[in-house]
Amino acid sequence: MDRLTWYVFRQALMVTLSVGVIFSAAVWLLQSLRLVDLIVNRGLSFGLFLYLAVLILPRFVDVVLPIAIFTAIIFVYAKLIAESELVVMRASGMSQWALAKPAMILGVAGMIVLYAMGFYFLPASNRAFKDLQFEIRNKFAAALIQEGVFNTLSDTLMVYVKRRDSKGDLIGLLIENTSDKDKPITISAERGALVETSDGPHILMVNGVRQQYDRLSDKLSSLSFKSYILDLAEMRNVPTLRDRQPDELYLSELLGNLDNPALYVELNMRLAGPLTALSMAAIPILCLLPGEFNRRGQARRILAAIGVALTMEIVDVGLTNLSRSTTAVMPFIYFNAIGPFLAALWITWRSGARLPSEFIARRAVR
């Protein structure tokens, strides 16, 4: 890589990293606010919250990186044109391909990162996040019970807690169990505590009443107690395993199940998605490099590049949604992802290897 290529590439890379970090952090913070409820209302630790927040980060990097590449390249090349640096580079004998080379290298680097994300990091983070989410929902009773809310833990179990004291104990409990529809059970207690054991979550209650109503005999039985233990896992029929979703499967697992339409679509999405990094790098080149230098600025070309990129993203969303009902659109997804890059290569090649420096300089001073 020569000095001029490295000079342009370094600027584009720094802007890409800056924009990527800012965009990812903004989206990450917005999405992480949804997890704050786990700390404020459900009693989970701050460390567990941070771990969950980190696991969702790769999803945003996968979306933000192509946008960051596009923003960086259009910013850097517009700046080079505005400050006449691009004119000097052309006058020194650099070809269109040489001028486009830094952007193409950045696009290839972005594509490699996205393939690494799609083949390993994204499924790994999605799998870890959903496994932990499943564990929280089905094992950590403290994460399921909120104050002042009728918490429906299953179709047959409802728990109400008036409040929690400073020690985390539950004050004012009301529990309704309808697992036996003919003999529903209602339990009320002054206070209680959540206990996690190897057998699952339990509620230890003191000073309460257990009432059972027999619908067949129309009789109500009541039992007062000083202490009572309720096994939540047994009453909720907590599942021990869950099915893996397509976004949690690694590449080898997707390749081994191509007869499944959902997995076939997921595989093609991971193969086609990273190609957008190439096209997002090529669109600014396609709009800014061809044509003559304009002293009035490059506003029209920048707007054209933004329009092409926006159209490409809209078409991609439409085709992705359509692919879930028919796989016949899959070739169009690949064409939409790689089309602008191929067009940029063709226009760059067509423009010729080099332009005479005197001719370029004459056009620049018009």
Mean pLDDT for the stretch of residues 24-39: 77
**pLDDT tens-digit profile of 161-205?**
888 887 778 889 998 988 888 899 999 999 988 777 766 677 889
CB 123 within 8 A of CB 250: yes
Task: Categorize the per-residue pLDDT at 333 as very low, low, confident or very high, splitting at 50, 70 and 90.
Answer: very high
| pLDDT at position 143 over 60 | no
Q: Is the pLDDT of residue 232 over 90?
A: no
**354 — pLDDT class (breaks 50, 70, 90):** very low
**pLDDT higher than threshold 90 for residue 62:** no
Question: What is the number of other CB atoms lying within 10 angstroms of the CB of residue 163?
Answer: 10
Stretch 348-357: mean pLDDT, rounded? 55
Residue of higher predicted confidence among 296 and 338: 338
**Residue 118: closest CA among 269, 320, 334, 324:** 269
Per-residue pLDDT at 274: 94
The contacts found for 333-339 with CB under 8 angstroms, 24 or more apart, are 333/268, 333/269, 333/272, 334/268, 334/272, 334/275, 336/312, 337/272, 337/273, 337/275, 337/276, 337/279, 338/275, 338/278, 338/279, 339/279, 339/312
Reading the block at residue 236, the tokens are 């909720």
What are the residues whose beta carbons fall under 8 Å from the beta carbon of 50, sequence distance 6 or more?
Answer: none
Q: How far is CA 311 from CA 25, 45, 250, 305, in A?
A: 25, 43, 30, 10
Mean pLDDT of 128-142: 70
pLDDT class for 147, splitting at 50, 70, 90?
A: confident
Q: Which of 51, 55, 113, 63 is nearest to 248 (CA)?
A: 55
Flag whether pLDDT at 309 surpasses 60: yes
291 touches 96 (CB < 8 A): no
Highest-pLDDT range among 27-31, 128-132, 161-165, 204-208: 204-208
Domain boundaries, the chain: 3-138+246-364, 145-236
CA-based R_g, the chain, Å: 30
Per-residue pLDDT, 198: 67
pLDDT tens per residue across span 265-280: 999 999 999 999 999 9
| β partners of residue 213 | 220
pLDDT at 359: 38
Whether the CB-CB separation of 184 and 177 falls below 8 Å is answered with yes
φ, ψ at 302 (rounded to 5°) = -65, -45
Residue 40: is its pLDDT beyond 70? Answer: no
Q: What percent of the chain has pLDDT over 70?
A: 84
Q: What is the DSSP letter of 322?
A: H
Residue-averaged pLDDT of the chain: 83
pLDDT at position 238 over 70? no
Residue 147: other Cβ atoms inside 10 A? 15
Q: What are the E-state strand segments in the chain?
A: 150-154, 157-164, 170-177, 185-197, 200-214, 219-231
Q: Is beta strand 170-177 parallel, antiparallel or unpaired with respect to 150-154?
A: unpaired
Closest-CA residue to 286 (of 350, 349, 343, 360) = 343
The pLDDT of residue 363 is 44
pLDDT surpasses 80 at 364: no
Single-letter amino acid code for the residue at 250: Y
Helix ranges (H only) for 188-260 are 232-236, 251-255
Q: Within 10 Å of residue 15's Cβ, how many Cβ atoms? A: 20
User: Quick one: average pLDDT of 112-138?
Assistant: 86
Strand-pair partners of 173: 161, 189
Q: What is the pLDDT of residue 111?
A: 95
Q: Which amino acid is at 45?
A: S
pTM of the full structure: 0.72
